[in-house]
Amino acid sequence: MDHATAHLSGSSAIDEEEKRRLRWSCRRGLLELEHLLGGFLDTGFERLSPAERQAFTALLAEDDQRLNDWFFGRSLPCDPQRRALIARILAEVSVLPPPADP
């Protein structure tokens, strides 16, 4: 179990250092993925159970192409918990970035 997983499993609150680490892991080469993952970190992560937080941390370890395929429906993960988490992220976070100011 890595440090992030160990920390998340023992607490329902997330400290700022851990949030910074997770935010860094949400950074992706594909802007759409970064928007989904970072947006969920901001809006939905705190409501996850410790097990779901571990699943989110594990999801962040996946490569961009696999995540892109999963989030945009080209394939599905075999793990039902991972499928449920992806569906939750998609339901929580709009795929489209907010419109630019005129």
* pLDDT tens digits, one per residue of 42-93: 999 999 999 999 999 999 999 999 999 999 999 999 999 999 999 999 999 9
Residue 23 domain boundaries = 3-92
* CATH code, 70: 1.10.150.250
Residue 73 lies in a domain: yes
Q: How many domains does the chain have?
A: 1
On whether residue 12 sits in a domain, the answer given is yes
C-alpha span between 32 and 55 (Å, rounded):
20
Asked whether residue 98 is assigned to any structural domain, the reply reads no
Alpha-carbon distance of 89 to 87, in angstroms, equals 5
Note the pLDDT of residue 3: 40
What lies within 8 Å, CB to CB, of 34 at 6+ separation is 26, 27, 28
Residue 97 inside a domain? The answer is no
Q: How far is Cα 57 from Cα 3, in angstroms, rounded to an integer?
A: 11
Alpha carbon distances (Å) from 62 to 11, 75, 77, 98: 24, 14, 11, 26
Answer yes or no: are the C-beta atoms of 22 and 57 closer than 8 Å. yes
Q: Is the pLDDT reported for residue 10 higher than 70?
A: no
Maximum distance among all Cα pairs of the chain, rounded to whole angstroms: 47
* pTM of model > 0.85: no
Q: Residue 102: inside a domain, yes or no?
A: no
